[in-house]
Amino acid sequence: MKVLVTGGSGLVGSTLTDLLLARGDEVVAIDNFATGRRDNLKEHARLTFVEGSITDSKLVREIVETTKPGAVVHTAASYKNPDDWENDALVNATGTAIVARAAKDFGVKRIVYFQTALCYGIKPIQQPIRLDHPMNPANSSYSISKTAGEHYVEHSGIDWVTFRLANVVGPRAVSGPLPIFFQRLSEGKRCFVTPARRDYVFAADLANIVSRAVNGEGAGTYHFSSGKDVPIRQIYDLTTKAMKLNDAPEPELKELAPDDAPSILLDPSRTFADFGEIKFTPIEEIVERTIDYYRDFGVQGGFTHLKGLGAKS
């Protein structure tokens, strides 16, 4: 199969691309390196890489028309500045509309999309959150624009799968607490934690299921989640352990930011029903492998779409 992967140099995009190439597929990847790392993708005989943005309608349509992918996996997204509403809307909403329309016009058979769990709001009325939970994305520019993108994918009329995600982490992650903790601790700076709890899933575990969706398995909307959440403090402690910091400073405890949620925990029962039980990589192994990667290749990013949790101060 030939697969177009948008955001191909990002965490999910590059992890999936490696898997697809390893199983014999052809991959066309596009990325503008706003958050993706250039070294995440290596040259490969079955990989065609295009540097550019999904907001470039002419470029996207040319890629889809000339390469004729059987499926599009749309991982590209804007998330690194919570105050950049314009770019979020341009990339996550308009960019997705461009990708979906090109796929529709040039005969792509399936689109796989990724949505944020914050589409349900920061005060969900269910715990864990089921797929029938009302949508309430007006908590951040990111979640508003990602929800608009999801609607464009559904509106395309193409066979589609959406994965609404828990926190996806792994060695190539540039957002969330792991790169922030590693960077600050490496610089001898103190970190802070909040009472928040999250479900962390390994990018490679997600890629395994996405590759099956590319093959035609599943239909409609799913939660990709282990069904278990852990406190941010546990991630901090696992990070200091992986960094072998026996005298790591006690982190400052801060209250939740106004745009943060106490817990984001998704009900994965439909995913398990359609794809079978998933063997999730333990959080201890995820953190250890991620820190090993940062130690070897450094940290690029430390981004967060939440205003109160930036890594730059």
Cα–Cα distance between 145 and 66 in angstroms, integer?
29
CA distance 75 to 175: 14
- Tokens 């909403």 locate to 93
Query: Catalytic residue among 79, 113, 120, 142, which?
Result: 142
Angle at 130 between CA 127 and CA 131, to 5 degrees: 155
Residue pair 36/49 in contact (Cβ under 8 Å)? The answer is: no
Distance CA 303, CA 311 (A): 7
Query: First-to-last CA distance in the chain?
Result: 45
Q: Is 222 exposed, middle or buried (0-12, 13-18, 19+ CB in 10 A)?
A: buried
Is residue 142 flagged as an active site residue? yes
Residues carrying an active site annotation: 142
